[in-house]
Amino acid sequence: MITHPFTYQAPSTIDEAVQQLDRSDEGKVIAGGHSLLPLMKLGLAQPEALIDLRRIASLREIRSEADGTIAIGALATHRDITHDQTVRAKLVALAEAAGAVGDLQVRARGTIGGSLAHADPAADEPAPALAYDAIIRAVGPKGRRDIKATEYFKGVFETALAANEIIAEIRFPAPDGRTGGAYAKFAHPASGFAITGVAAVITIKADGTVERAAIGVTGAAAAAYRATAAEKALAGTNGDAKAIAAAAAKAADGITALSDLAASSDYRKHLVTVYAKRAIERAISRAKA
Partner 1 sequence: MTGTATPTYIGSRVARKEDPRLITGEGTFTDDVMLQGMAYLTLVRSPHAHARIRRIDTAAAKKEPGVVAVLTGKDLEVTGMLPVFITVPSMNGSKHMPIATDKARYAGDAVAAVVADTRDAAKRAADLIAVDYEPLPVVVDASKALEAGAPILHEELGSNLVFTYPVKGGDIDKAFKDAEIKINQRIVNQRLIPNAMEPRAVTAKFEAGELTLWTTTQIPHFVQLIVALNLGLGQNKVRVIAPEVGGGFGSKLQVYAEELLVGHLAKTLGRPVKWTEERREGYLATIHGRDHVSDVELAAKRDGTILGLRVRTVANVGAYLQAFAPGIPTILHVFIVPGPYRIPAFDYEMRGAYTNTTPVDAYRGAGRPEAALLIERIMDRLADEIGMDPAEVRRKNFIPSDAFPFNTISGITYDSGDYAPALDRALAMADYKGFEKRRAEAKTRGNYRGIGISSYVEICGLAPSKANAALGVGWGGYESARIRVHATGAVQVFTGTSPHGQGHETSWAQIAADALGVSPNDIEVRHGDTFESPGMGVGTFGSRSLAVGGIAVHKAAEKVREKVVQIGAHLLEASPADIVVEGGKVFVKGVPDKAKNFGDISMAAYLANNLPDGMEPGLEATVYYDPPNFTFPFGTHIAEVEVDGETGAVQIVKYSACDDCGRQINPMIVEGQLHGGITQGIGQALYEGAVYDNDGQLLSGSMMEYHVPSAEDVPAFDLDSTVTLTNTNPLGVKGIGEAGTIGSTPAAVNAVIDALSPLGIKHIDMPLTSEKIWRAIRAAGEGRR
Q: Which residues bind partner 1 (CB under 8 A)?
A: 1, 3, 186, 189-191, 260-264, 267, 270-271, 274
CB of 120 to partner 1, least distance (A): 11
CB of 30 to partner 1, least distance (A): 20
Q: Closer to partner 1 at the Cβ: 1 or 66?
A: 1
Q: Closer to partner 1 at the Cβ: 134 or 271?
A: 271
Q: Closer to partner 1 at the Cβ: 75 or 184?
A: 184
CB of 189 to partner 1, least distance (A): 4
Q: Closer to partner 1 at the Cβ: 83 or 270?
A: 270
CB of 279 to partner 1, least distance (A): 13
CB of 3 to partner 1, least distance (A): 5
CB of 206 to partner 1, least distance (A): 32
Q: Closer to partner 1 at the Cβ: 229 or 245?
A: 245
CB of 121 to partner 1, least distance (A): 14
Tell me how far CA of residue 194 lies from CA of 54, 101, 117, 175, 260, in angstroms: 27, 9, 17, 25, 12
Residue 176, Cβ neighbours under 10 Å: how many?
10
Query: Among 187, 197, 215, which residue's Cα sits nearest to residue 124?
Result: 197
Q: CA 119, CA 176: separation in Å to the nearest integer?
A: 28
Q: Closer to partner 1 at the Cβ: 33 or 140?
A: 33
Q: Closer to partner 1 at the Cβ: 246 or 274?
A: 274
